[in-house]
Structure 1
Amino acid sequence: MGIRINVNARQDYSYLFQSMTTSRGNSLGNLNFLSDYASIKNGSYGKLMKAYYAKDAADKAASTGKDTETKKKSISTAADSAKTLSEIEKAADTMKESADSLLVKGSKSVFQKKNVKTTDETGKTTISEEYDTDAIYKAVSGFVTDYNDLLSKTSAASSKNLQSKADTLAAVTSANAKLLSRVGITVNSDSSLSLDEEAFKKSDMGTVKNLFGTTGAYGYKVSAQASMIDYTAAKESTRSNTYTANGTYSNVYSAGNILNSFF
């Protein structure tokens, strides 16, 4: 059955938005604010949306006389743009993944010792269990990079809630500065981290494990703070605009680009 649309009639289109909620996601499966994906797929939903926004834009143009660029602006009560919030959330997710990878236990742990065969000058061979220093360095280096990225993005946010979370993240790091220095990691004046590869590889890997691979230790706390930043950015995004006045979606958690492709 076809859908008929009378764009000239004064109609209440509010039912179009009854199934919408703000949701984060990287795939269509996570766009749970659209109750019927099929209606998007076949274009009927898009036609209704276009009709609604075309009528709305015409009414606003007639009553306010604002120029085209002004009409395209959307209203947002969030302190940061949807793009900024999306970048912070992605950085938080990446940070959490890096931290959690160092917390893995058992045979898949980066701190799992391996048998290493060595032969001395007399030809005598010995086998001993040792840490894989290169693998541990690679994992911690990724942690440092992701930490600096998250701290930078969150600290630059305008939201006081996010700034507070950035301060907490920095405080967690500051509290562990002495231990970090023992494994070649320096806490800079801006609370960012610097990793000295040579000093790190010469340090005690047991200390590194205590810092990054132990529940309740530094790495664990950073993971927890990343989760809090992720949550705060998601909450803040609900105050950000979902659609613009010209009928296209803003890029809240990158969903806007996906939705605009349908219309």
Structure 2
Amino acid sequence: MMRVGMWDSSSISTLFSGLNGSRNTSSASSFINNLDLGTYSSIKSGSYFKLLKSYYSENLDSKASSLVSSSVATAADDTKTLGKIQSDAGDLVKSAQDLYKSGSKDDADTTYKKVSAFVDDYNSLVSAASKSETSKITKNLESMQSLTDMNAKSLAKIGISIDSKSGKLSVDEETFKKADQTKVKALFNGNGSYAYGVATKASMMEYTAKSEAEKSNTYSANGRYNNTYSSGSNYNYFL
């Protein structure tokens, strides 16, 4: 009788004779007979997992495929792109809030500085979000730019123009400061204003970018491991 270390094939067959839950005894015997002696020997060295994985390979492969298909990165954009969108959208939300929450207390110089910051943040978000392939982000970008187009005439009266190709804004300081400040405030002050509408769209892009960046990517937008990987759930499933 062939022996492996202190084991013989009869002893090993006995060891696995109870593995007949969903499979019959002949299947277990076939499994034993198809293993080489080196694999038998590995039991002694603590490599039982190798045998277990081989025995349950069909079920394990099925579960593994299911796990991988549900846990791999599903975001349409890479984390760097999403992180940039999230950051720029957050900046635009803040600059827009500085305008629509300021009321009528600001003079023309102060308002111009805030509008200038708003324009810069708006343009940065347009550049970042234009590179996105995430439908929710692109739809909100289009909605934000449509809102701007709807207010194009009013914006032009206070010195803010829209580039027809890029959709970006530019503000002429002299025209802006000479403009009727009542019209400026109508566009940028209070809930329901143009600035408020832009902040709403930017906020939605910020939320979507953050959510997409956390969809089972190895790293989150801030460079840390995301929850799936830091918890080790994918790795531990197979141990």
- The residue that corresponds to 2:160 in the other structure is 185
Q: How many matched pairs? A: 162
Which residues in structure 2 correspond to 1:1-263 (within 5 Å)? Answer: 75-104=72-101, 109=102, 111-112=104-105, 132-189=107-164, 190-241=166-217, 243=218, 250=219, 252-256=220-224
- Flag the 1:202–1:239 CA change in 2: closer, same or farther, 3 A: same
Task: Report the CA distance between 1:206 and its aligned residue.
Answer: 1.2
Structure 1, unaligned runs of 5 or more: 1-7, 11-73, 113-130, 244-249
Conservation of the 8 A alpha-carbon contact between 2:188 and 2:196: yes
Conservation of the 8 A alpha-carbon contact between 1:110 and 1:132: no
Q: Which fold has the larger relative contact order, with Cα–Cα distance below 8 Å and residues 6 or more apart in sequence? A: 1
Conservation of the 8 A alpha-carbon contact between 1:183 and 1:204: yes
Task: Report the CA distance between 1:255 and its aligned residue.
Answer: 4.2
Question: Counterpart of 1:146 in structure 2: which amino acid?
Answer: D
Conservation of the 8 A alpha-carbon contact between 1:82 and 1:240: no
- Flag the 1:258–1:161 CA change in 2: closer, same or farther, 3 A: closer
Q: Deviations over 1:108-149 (max 9, x none)?
A: x3631xxxxxxxxxxxxxxxxxx5211110000000000111
Secondary structure in 2 aligned to 1:194?
strand
Q: Which has the higher helix share?
A: 2
Structure 2, unaligned runs of 5 or more: 1-46, 50-70, 228-239
Conservation of the 8 A alpha-carbon contact between 1:111 and 1:136: no
Query: 2:160, 2:197 → 1: CA distance?
Result: 17
Q: Deviations over 1:131-175 (max 9, x none)?
A: 521111000000000011111111111212211111111101001
CA RMSD of aligned residues (A): 2.6
Q: Deviations over 1:28-56 (max 9, x none)?
A: xxxxxxxxxxxxxxxxxxxxxxxxxxxxx
Conservation of the 8 A alpha-carbon contact between 1:133 and 1:205: yes
Secondary structure in 2 aligned to 1:186?
strand
Secondary structure in 2 aligned to 1:254?
coil
Question: Counterpart of 1:134 in structure 2: which amino acid?
Answer: D
Question: Counterpart of 1:86 in structure 2: which amino acid?
Answer: G
Question: Identical aligned pairs, as a percentage?
Answer: 39
Query: 2:147, 2:77 → 1: CA distance?
Result: 25
Runs of 4+ in 1 over 3 A off after TM superposition: none
Task: Report the CA distance between 1:238 and its aligned residue.
Answer: 3.0
Which entry has the higher C-alpha Rg, 1 or 2?
A: 2
- Flag the 1:88–1:9 CA change in 2: closer, same or farther, 3 A: farther
Query: 2:198, 2:184 → 1: CA distance?
Result: 15
Query: 1:197, 1:187 → 2: CA distance?
Result: 15
- The residue that corresponds to 1:13 in the other structure is none
Query: 1:234, 1:257 → 2: CA distance?
Result: 14
